[in-house]
Amino acid sequence: MKIVFLGPPGAGKGTQAVFITARLGIPHISTGDMLRRAIAEGSALGQKVKTVLDAGKLVSDELMIELIEQRLQQPDTQKGFLLDGFPRTVPQAEALEVLLKKINKPLTHILLLDVPEKVLVDRILKRGKESGRSDDTAEVALKRQKVYWELTAPVADYYGKLGRLIKVDGLGTIEEVQGKISAVLE
C-alpha cells in the first residue's frame, strides 16, 4: 500500500502511522521526524531548517520535494510506504503526483485524520511536557494550526476534488482510532 496520512498537528498521524506501518511492513516516512533528526545531527540541512521548525513555519517546498524524491528512491519503498507530514502544500501534492507517476508507484490510500482544533492544541501541550519538541509550546502550537488551515487544508481539498480523500474520525482512544483506520485500509 502507498498511503498518505493527512491531518492537522496533533491529530495523531505519527501515533497511528507507527501501528499501521508495523502491521503492513512498510516504511513510515515522517518528514517532521527526518527534519528533527537532521537538526539533532547538526547536518547542513538541520542547520538550515532549525529556525523554521522552531517558529512553526514550513520548510520550503523545493527542499521538501527534494528530500522526499530521494527518500522514495530507497529500495525499502518498493513494497509500499506511508507518508506522514508530506505533502503539506498544494505544490508539494502536485510534485508528488509527478514523481509517483515517474517511478510508477501511484498512491493507494489518502487518509485525513479529522480532529477538532481545541482537542489538537490540548494534545500538543500535553505531549510538549514529555517530548521536548521545541515547537510544542502554546504559541508555536497555535501558529502551526494556523499554517495548517492556510497551507495544508487545501491539500485535503485537492485530493477531495479528485474523489480520493478518505476521512477518518480521529476522536476517541488511540485504540479506537486504530480500529477505524484499519477498517478503511481493508
- Which residues of this chain interact with Mg ion, rule CB under 5 A? 14
Is the CB of 27 or the CB of 56 nearer to ligand AP5? 56
Pick the closer one to ligand AP5 by CB: 4 or 26: 4
**Choosing among ligand AP5, Mg ion, none, which partner's interface includes residue 177 (Cβ < 5 to 8 Å by kind)?**
ligand AP5
Our CB check for Mg ion shows the closer of 14 and 91 to be 14
Q: CB–CB of 117/8 below 8 Å?
A: yes
Q: Which is nearer to Mg ion, 26 or 120 (CB)?
A: 120
Residue 181 CB, nearest distance to ligand AP5 (Å)? Answer: 11
Least distance from C-beta 48 to ligand AP5, angstroms? 12
Q: Which does 48 bind (CB under 5 to 8 A by kind): ligand AP5, Mg ion, none?
A: none
Look up residue 122 and give its three cell numbers: 490540548
Q: What residue number has its CB nearest to ligand AP5?
A: 32
Do 82 and 26 touch, CB atoms closer than 8 A? yes
Report the interface residues with ligand AP5, using CB under 6 A: 7, 9-15, 31-32, 35, 52-53, 56-59, 64, 85-86, 88, 92, 123-124, 126-127, 135, 144, 172-174, 177
State the residue number with the nearest CB to Mg ion.
14
Distances from the Cα of 134 to the Cα of 6, 17, 50, 80, 125, angstroms: 22, 22, 10, 31, 11
Active site residues: 13, 88, 127, 133, 144
Cα four-point dihedral sign 119, 120, 121, 127: positive
Spatial separation of the C-alpha atoms in residues 2 and 20, rounded to whole Å? 12
Q: Is residue 51 classed as helix, strand or coil in its secondary structure?
A: helix
CA distances from 184 to 21, 71, 119, 126, 157 (A): 15, 26, 23, 29, 19
